[in-house]
Amino acid sequence: EVQLVESGGGLVQPGGSLRLSCAASGFTFSSYSMIWFRQAPGKGLEWVSYITTSGRQIYYADSVRGRFAISRDNAKNSLYLQMNSLRAEDTAVYYCARDGVPGATLGDYWGQGTLVTVSS
Amino acid sequence: EIVMTQSPATLSVSPGERATLSCRASQSVSSNLAWYQQRPGQAPRLLIYGASTRATDIPARFSGSGSGTDFTLTISSLQSEDFAVYYCQHYNNWPLTFGGGTKVEIK
């Protein structure tokens, strides 16, 4: 069974940093690109970042480029999102997802999410 | 950036009835479109990709159609577990973008 479990969320002050983790199991993690999405409270879904299997190709939404960094450790079956210079508008539930449909770029399996709150 | 627009924002439907949800792209995305379902307090679940291909274990009452800029998600006979918010997402190029969602509620 595919499982994705996010952790690392919490309350942080504006300008602060946070590192999210996503532990993957039930599939060969190193064979799949991975995606971070987020959802602000009561709002819709937003794509945040994408990383290929080797980590050689990475993409970011304009709203986070230069502040967030996606990475992965295939030996640990883990995906990460380093978030710096956090702003109030970064407050959201952050989901990691597997990009599991060949030829598409979407989340076929999602974790349950971790809440990040940016507030003083 | 491709803007995805979903309509209506809210759809009131009785159990057993058909629901038709629309998604429009600001420019062509070919068939590079997915639909997701999100129940309250849960993560999104992939329903449809390639505009019309059901994802694994998705019931046949869910169907998708369209290409280019206009897409439709149809739920043929609504069950209690189908009352949720539905999102479309294109993957034609970067950035990936979502529609604002359609909430399907009980009439």
User: What pLDDT is stored for residue B16 in this prediction?
Assistant: 95
Report how far apart, in Å, the C-alpha atoms of A89 and of each of A39, B80, B85 are: 11, 34, 22
What letter does residue B80 receive in the DSSP assignment?
A: G
- Interface with chain B: mutation pick from A4, A37, A45, highest number of B CBs within 10 Å: A45
Report CB contact under 8 Å: A107, B46: yes
User: What pLDDT is stored for residue B39 in this prediction?
Assistant: 97
Q: How far is B53 from chain A (nearest CA, A)?
A: 11
CA distance B6 to B75: 16
User: What pLDDT is stored for residue A100 in this prediction?
Assistant: 93
- Interface with chain B: mutation pick from A46, A70, A106, A109, highest number of B CBs within 10 Å: A106
B89 touches chain A (CB under 8 A): yes
What mean pLDDT do residues B6-25 have? 97
A75-104 pLDDT tens trace: 999 999 999 999 999 999 999 999 999 999
A34, A79 in Cβ contact below 8 A?
yes
Q: How far is B92 from chain A (nearest CA, A)?
A: 8
B46-104 pLDDT tens trace: 999 999 999 999 999 999 999 999 999 999 999 999 999 999 999 999 999 999 999 99
Looking from the CA of A62 toward its CB, the CA atoms found within 13 Å total 4
Residues of chain A in contact with residue B44, where contact means CB-CB under 8 angstroms, are 37, 45, 95, 107, 110
For residues B56-83, b (16+ Cβ closer than 10 Å) or e, as one string? eebeeebbbebeebebbbebeebeeebb
User: What pLDDT is stored for residue B51 in this prediction?
Assistant: 98
Among residues B20, B3, B29, the alpha carbon closest in space to that of B99 is found at B3
Of A45, A62, A95, the CB nearest to B98: A45
A17-65 pLDDT tens trace: 999 999 999 999 999 999 999 999 999 999 999 999 999 999 999 999 9
User: What pLDDT is stored for residue A94 in this prediction?
Assistant: 98
User: What pLDDT is stored for residue B15 in this prediction?
Assistant: 94
CA distance A39 to A45: 5
SS3 of residue A35 by DSSP: strand
What mean pLDDT do residues B29-33 have? 98
User: What pLDDT is stored for residue A41 in this prediction?
Assistant: 97
